[in-house]
Amino acid sequence: MKPIKVGLLGIGTVGAGTFTVLKRNQEEIRRRAGREIEIAMVADLDTERAKAIVGSSVVVVKDAHQIVDNPDIDIIIELIGGYGIARELVMKAIANGKHVVTANKALLATHGTEIFRAAQERGVMVAFEAAVAGGIPIIKALREGLTANRIQWIAGIINGTTNFILSEMRDKGLDFDVVLKEAQRLGYAEADPTFDIEGVDAAHKATIMSAIAFGIPVQFDKAHVEGITNLQASDIRYAEKLGYRIKLLGITKRVANGIELRVHPTLIPTNRLIANVEGAMNAVLVQGDAVGATLYYGKGAGAEPTASAVIADLVDITRLATADPEHRVPYLAFQPNEMSDTPILPMSEITTSYYLRICVADKLGVMADITRILADGAISIDAMLQKEPADGETQTDIIILTHQTQEKHVDRAIAAIEALSTVVAKVTRIRLEELS
């Protein structure tokens, strides 16, 4: 049987890793796929660098359209990233009847509905295991391994940069800005780390997982996105004293009146396995009604871990290329005509517990005023910690953990607390999830 011919668009870190792993494990992959998989063409703006990686046996071009339009190419791997030219090339590849493998979570989170519809109409496959959590096979687990389950919720550490920063802040007691510079020096954070530290990257991934888990369209525009830039080292210390660790979590949850889809710093009990995921590692916790909780852990980025997921998609497509399109695994796990219109809830309607840090003047009656406001808002206190002011200090921190309540009630309570003359700074609010 003739080899499957692959066109690779972009040979940066992941592209080079994909070429290397595919070449190194070629025989093993052939035995699994049933036929040889061969990268026949590569497109990259830096053609000299590309040629140095792939050698003389692979055609290297600058214009990716030459690959997408080549009738001899069976599968396109898109590793360019972004929303612009990547979308154009993917849509053109689909129109030309080519299968697509992509690691582009931003593209799928924003244009996935359009891309999957086009692929369905053309009868081609779009595979994207590498788009979420690098080498961890979480997409396959959600689409296939857990297909018997009614997924209840997913909570994931799905951005290695922010997890590294939070781990360093906890271990060394340093503030965010200091650790970010160190992360950039070590290569864990980009020169422009905005997508990572503001939670956008994690929200792209959470959006994709939510669509697969609950059979809804991808709706990144409805996700609540909050990063870690406002976290203080003091919050991490207080959380530790109360038995919690702070992680940037992507959370999607099925509740009675809709779907929650949110990314934000979160307190997690220290005794949860996911709370102990450190450094640049990723982990995804999935709760299903039949299987219970399952945890998926591994490297969320890097050349070869991500290449592992890209090549797994290549093998899947190779195995199924001749199958009736109606009998393939659906892109988002549910049959396209069975997608749900269950709404994604606004943040004001979500229910969780809260950590509140309130900086107050060290005066009598402050605590009574705060507890009265919380009681008036039907917000129940679970635990409290008050820092004793040092000699000469005129203000102190009060830390409150609440029981579960709706976000809109906490919004109103925070506004009332900040209006008190004895409260000297904005209230710090961090959500809390037991994940039990």
| DSSP for 377-400, written as a single string | TTPPEEEEEEPPPPTT--EEEEEE
Burial of 140 (0-12, 13-18, 19+ CB in 10 A): middle
- Specify the DSSP class assigned to residue 172: H
Look up residue 292 and give its two tokens.
Answer: 């219970």
The whole-number pLDDT of residue 281 equals 96
pLDDT score at 392: 76
Q: Tokens 């919720």 appear where?
A: 153
Task: Give me the residues of the chain with pLDDT under 50, please.
Answer: none
Please count the other Cβ atoms lying within 10 Å of the Cβ belonging to residue 82: 10
Q: Give the DSSP per-residue string, 262-306.
A: EEEEEEEETTSGGGG--TTEEEEEEEETTTEEEEEEEE-SSHHHH
Q: Does domain 4-135+303-337 have CATH number 3.40.50.720?
A: yes
Is 205 part of the annotated catalytic residue set? yes
Pairwise CA distance, residues 188 & 180, whole Å: 9
The one-letter amino acid at 398: I
Close Cβ partners of 403 (under 8 Å, ≥ 6 residues apart): 353, 379, 380, 381, 382
**In this structure, is the dihedral angle defined by the CA atoms of residues 48, 54, 57 and 58, taken in order, positive or negative?**
negative
Nearest to 47 by CA among 66, 75, 70, 22: 66
Distance between CA 36 and CA 22 in Å, rounded? 10
Region label for 225, one of left (φ > 0), alpha (ψ between -120 and 50) or beta (otherwise) = beta
Of 205, 247, 253, 299, which is the active-site residue?
205
Domains 4-135+303-337 and 349-432 agree in fold: no
What pLDDT does residue 321 have?
79
pLDDT computed for residue 28 by the predictor: 96
Q: What is the pLDDT of residue 326?
A: 77
Options 3.30.70.260, 3.40.50.620, 3.10.20.30, 2.60.40.10; CATH of 349-432: 3.30.70.260
The span from the CA of 382 to the CA of 46, in Å, is 58
Token pair for residue 320?
A: 């199924």
Domain boundaries, the chain: 4-135+303-337, 138-297, 349-432
pTM (two decimals): 0.95
pLDDT, residue 347, reads: 97
Mean pLDDT rounded to a whole number for the chain: 95
Output the CA–CA distances (angstroms, integers) from residue 40 to 54, 158, 272, 308, in the order listed: 10, 32, 46, 19
Taking a C-beta distance cutoff of 8 angstroms, is the pair 398, 358 a contact? yes
CATH class of 138-297: alpha beta
Structure tokens at 210: 């939510």
| Among the listed residues 404, 399, 387, the one whose alpha carbon sits nearest the alpha carbon of residue 428 | 399
Tokens 């309570």 belong to residue: 413
Tokens matching residue 248: 């940037």
